[in-house]
C-alpha cells in the first residue's frame, strides 16, 4: 500500500478574519523519519467557479428542481418547478413537497431518510388541476453521515398522459 499515490483532500476553512477559503491538501508519510509532508493549495477561485456553474445548472434546468429538507419543506426551487405548479418561488418555499403530491410514499420516504426515491404521482397545480410528474429525490448527507437535504428532480409527464388518454379514446371509438 506504500506505493499508492495519496489522494488530494479538499476542505472549506474559515480564517480568523472570518473569510471562507477552500484548500486542497496532499500529504505523504516519510516512513524513515516518521514525518508527514503536506502540500496545501488555495483552490477557492476554482471551487467558487464550480459552485457558480452548479447553481446555474440548477436554476436553468429544463426539469423542475428543488432542494428539500428531510421533513419535506422546500429549501430552494427553480423557475421551471414554479411554472409547472403555477406558483411563485416564495409560495413554493412556504409549502412542502408532501403537501403537493398525492402519493403518501413521498412523505414517508423523506421522513424516513430513504437514500433515494422515484415515483410517478399527481402534483397539485395552484389552479387545482393535476400535474402528473415523475419525482426523483436523492438524499445528500454531510461528512458525519447526517441527512442534510434531498436533491429533487421533477419531470412533467402531463402531456404524455393526456396523449395516451386521447390515443386510448380514439382506439376505443375504432373498436
pLDDT values of the chain reduced to their tens digit, one per residue, 175 residues: 455 666 788 888 888 999 888 888 888 888 889 898 888 888 888 877 777 787 877 888 889 999 999 989 999 999 999 999 999 999 999 999 999 998 888 988 988 889 999 999 999 999 988 899 999 999 999 888 999 999 999 999 887 767 676 676 777 777 7
What is this structure's pTM? 0.70
Cα 4–chain centre separation: 34
- For 30, left (φ over 0), alpha (ψ -120 to 50), or beta? beta
Residue 30, CA atoms < 13 Å, CB-side half-sphere:
7
Amino acid at each position: 500500500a506504500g506505493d499508492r499515490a495519496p489522494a488530494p483532500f479538499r476542505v472549506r476553512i474559515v480564517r480568523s478574519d472570518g473569510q471562507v477559503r477552500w484548500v486542497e491538501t496532499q500529504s505523504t508519510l516519510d516512513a524513515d523519519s516518521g514525518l508527514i509532508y503536506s502540500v496545501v493549495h488555495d483552490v477557492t477561485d476554482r471551487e467558487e467557479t464550480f459552485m457558480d456553474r452548479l447553481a446555474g445548472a440548477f436554476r436553468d434546468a429544463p426539469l423542475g428542481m428543488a432542494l428539500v429538507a428531510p421533513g419535506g419543506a422546500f429549501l430552494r426551487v427553480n423557475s421551471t418547478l414554479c411554472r409547472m405548479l403555477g406558483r411563485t418561488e416564495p409560495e413554493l418555499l412556504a409549502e412542502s413537497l408532501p403537501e403537493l403530491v398525492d402519493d403518501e410514499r413521498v412523505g414517508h420516504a423523506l421522513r424516513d431518510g430513504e437514500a433515494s426515491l422515484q415515483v410517478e404521482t399527481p402534483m397539485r397545480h395552484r389552479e387545482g388541476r393535476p400535474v402528473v410528474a415523475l419525482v426523483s429525490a436523492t438524499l445528500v448527507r454531510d461528512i458525519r453521515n447526517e441527512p442534510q437535504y434531498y436533491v429533487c428532480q421533477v419531470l412533467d409527464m402531463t402531456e404524455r398522459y393526456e396523449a395516451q388518454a386521447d390515443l386510448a379514446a380514439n382506439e376505443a371509438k375504432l373498436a
